[in-house]
């Protein structure tokens, strides 16, 4: 059976479209076009986060499971790499929002101090705010999912244990993950009166626990079953059509969240048969930039819209489609600059420092053993 290639470009492209879906979800209200009157597709953009959670489980299993099975996996290097991936931009957006708040006060622009609760700042800095430690909406709203991701990274060895224990029974692992999803859905409904896919700032960590495991199970499923390329393409097309229809109709939250699983699995199956020339391109690059898009789209819009409305006075309560498109292009451009000038250098620098620290600790242990 043909193994998955090292690169999975279709999944990288999906990251961009998932992030863009979230952007439209947050930006659509001031848009002069009442898209929600015709379709609830954009109103369901919050489910881009569920795609990210399942993708994370799938991709990280793809990257690390072989090393874990062969005894080469080093949790220290793993957690440093994940920290380097998410923390620099997370802390930069918090700093940016602090500057924005200060600037708004200086310019006399309407400002909501409740959006920046100082009592919640320590939890945000530690990336534990979606673990129940900062239940209020504040600072950079979308970062609740980064807090949830951080939990999944810390729990990654447990996920790998489940993947290894059921390596030959991926359907059982998938069933367990799905059962866990519905069990936590009942817990969330009992505690807060909402379905699990509504978990965000308050206890978003509950949402990623089963969805990450679903991604792990899907990867194991792909190691046991392989679809022919044509069958995978046809099945993906049908699943995507159903997924978009369900979003348009705003079906049950839990069904829409779980529909991301076959979508991701079938995309990965198409990548199994892809030629190397398909491993790059504009949308693959934008998939790499998707984290920056996701993290800065709210601060960017906050600044741009309030400037145009309260400082420049060129818009009132809504914006035209032309202005909407212009802001979208500028935001994606700013995200690309952020990726190149902040994410990549800081990621490389932190990983190098982490490697030196781990090597120093290893040398210290060797010296103590030799004594």
Q: Give the pLDDT score at 95.
A: 92
Averaged pLDDT, 272-287: 81
What band does 118 get if pLDDT is binned at 50, 70 and 90?
Answer: confident
317 burial type by CB count under 10 A (0-12 exposed, 13-18 middle, 19+ buried): exposed
Q: Taking all residues of the chain, what is their mean pLDDT, rounded to a whole number?
A: 92
Q: Are 83 and 125 in contact (CB under 8 A)?
A: no
Q: 31 forms bridges with which residues in the sheet?
A: 319
In this predicted structure, the answer to whether residue 245 has a pLDDT above a threshold of 60 is yes
Angle formed at CA 185 by CA 168 and CA 176, multiple of 5 degrees? 10
Angle formed at CA 178 by CA 177 and CA 183, multiple of 5 degrees? 95
Assigned token pair, 305? 């819209």
- Residue 120: inside a domain: yes
Contacts of 244 (CB under 8 A, 6+ apart): 41
- Residue 129: inside a domain: yes
Q: Give the pLDDT score at 216.
A: 98
Please give the model's pTM, rounded to 2 decimal places. Answer: 0.95
- Residue 38: inside a domain: yes
Q: Please, where are the H alpha helices in the chain?
A: 9-27, 35-38, 48-69, 75-107, 121-125, 144-154, 156-165, 170-192, 205-224, 229-249, 253-272, 282-306, 321-338, 344-370
Q: Give the pLDDT score at 360.
A: 86
Distance CA 121, CA 50 (A): 25
- Residue 309: inside a domain: yes
In this predicted structure, the answer to whether residue 71 has a pLDDT above a threshold of 70 is yes
Domain count, the chain: 1
Averaged pLDDT, 48-53: 98
Other beta carbons within 10 angstroms of residue 95's beta carbon come to: 10
What band does 221 get if pLDDT is binned at 50, 70 and 90?
Answer: very high
Query: What percentage of the chain has pLDDT greater than the value 90?
Result: 78
Determine which of 89-103, 285-299, 307-321 has the lowest per-residue pLDDT on average. Answer: 307-321
Assigned token pair, 13? 């492209």
Averaged pLDDT, 87-112: 81
- Residue 163: inside a domain: yes
- Residue 1: inside a domain: no
In this predicted structure, the answer to whether residue 278 has a pLDDT above a threshold of 60 is no
In this predicted structure, the answer to whether residue 368 has a pLDDT above a threshold of 80 is no
In this predicted structure, the answer to whether residue 367 has a pLDDT above a threshold of 80 is no
In this predicted structure, the answer to whether residue 256 has a pLDDT above a threshold of 90 is yes
Query: What percentage of the chain has pLDDT greater than the value 70?
Result: 94
Residue 5 zone, left/alpha/beta (φ > 0; ψ -120 to 50; rest): beta
Averaged pLDDT, 215-232: 95
In this predicted structure, the answer to whether residue 262 has a pLDDT above a threshold of 60 is yes
- Residue 3: inside a domain: no
Distance CA 218, CA 83 (A): 25
Q: Give the pLDDT score at 101.
A: 76
In this predicted structure, the answer to whether residue 274 has a pLDDT above a threshold of 70 is yes
Q: 319 forms bridges with which residues in the sheet?
A: 31
Determine which of 49-53, 96-100, 171-175 has the lowest per-residue pLDDT on average. Answer: 96-100
Assigned token pair, 295? 């993290």
Containing structural domain, residue 17:
9-370
Residue 253 zone, left/alpha/beta (φ > 0; ψ -120 to 50; rest): alpha
Q: Are 181 and 210 in contact (CB under 8 A)?
A: yes
Residue 98 zone, left/alpha/beta (φ > 0; ψ -120 to 50; rest): alpha
Render pLDDT for 323-362 as a digit per residue (tens, 0 to 9). Answer: 999 999 999 999 999 999 999 999 999 999 999 988 888 8
- Residue 2: inside a domain: no
Render pLDDT for 295-329 as a digit per residue (tens, 0 to 9). Answer: 999 999 988 888 888 777 778 788 899 999 999 99
């Amino acid at each position: 059976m043909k193994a998955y290639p090292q690169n999975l470009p279709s999944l990288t492209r999906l990251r961009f479209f998932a992030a863009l879906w979230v952007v439209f979800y947050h930006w659509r209200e001031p848009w002069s076009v009442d898209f929600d009157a015709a379709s609830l597709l954009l109103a369901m953009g919050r489910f881009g986060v569920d795609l990210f959670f399942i993708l994370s489980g799938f991709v990280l299993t793809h990257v690390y499971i072989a090393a874990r099975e062969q005894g080469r996996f080093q949790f220290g290097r793993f957690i440093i790499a994940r920290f380097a991936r998410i923390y620099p931009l997370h802390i930069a957006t918090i700093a940016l929002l602090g500057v924005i708040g200060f600037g708004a006060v200086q310019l006399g622009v309407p400002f909501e101090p409740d959006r920046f609760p100082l009592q919640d700042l320590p939890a945000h800095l530690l990336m534990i705010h979606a673990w129940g430690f900062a239940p209020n909406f504040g600072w950079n709203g979308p970062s609740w999912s980064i807090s949830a991701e951080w939990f999944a990274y810390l729990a990654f060895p447990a996920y790998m244990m489940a993947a290894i224990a059921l390596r030959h029974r991926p359907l059982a692992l998938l069933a367990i993950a799905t059962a866990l999803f519905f069990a936590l859905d009942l817990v969330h409904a009992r505690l807060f009166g909402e379905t699990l896919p509504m978990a965000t700032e308050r206890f978003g960590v509950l949402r990623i626990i089963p969805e990450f495991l679903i991604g792990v199970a899907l990867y194991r499923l792909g190691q046991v079953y392989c679809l022919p390329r044509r069958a995978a393409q046809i099945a993906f097309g049908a699943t995507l059509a159903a997924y978009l229809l369900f979003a348009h109709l705003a079906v049950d939250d839990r069904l829409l969240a779980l529909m991301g699983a076959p979508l991701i699995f079938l995309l990965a199956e198409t990548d199994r048969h892809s030629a190397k020339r398909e491993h790059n391109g504009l949308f693959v690059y934008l998939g790499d930039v998707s984290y920056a898009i996701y993290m800065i789209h709210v601060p960017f819009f906050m600044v741009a819209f309030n400037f145009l409305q309260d400082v420049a006075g060129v818009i009132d309560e809504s914006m035209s489609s032309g202005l909407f498109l212009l802001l979208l292009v500028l935001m994606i451009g700013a995200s690309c600059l952020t990726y190149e000038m902040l994410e990549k250098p800081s990621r490389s620098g932190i990983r190098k420092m982490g490697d030196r620290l781990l090597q120093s600790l290893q040398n210290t242990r060797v010296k103590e053993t030799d004594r």
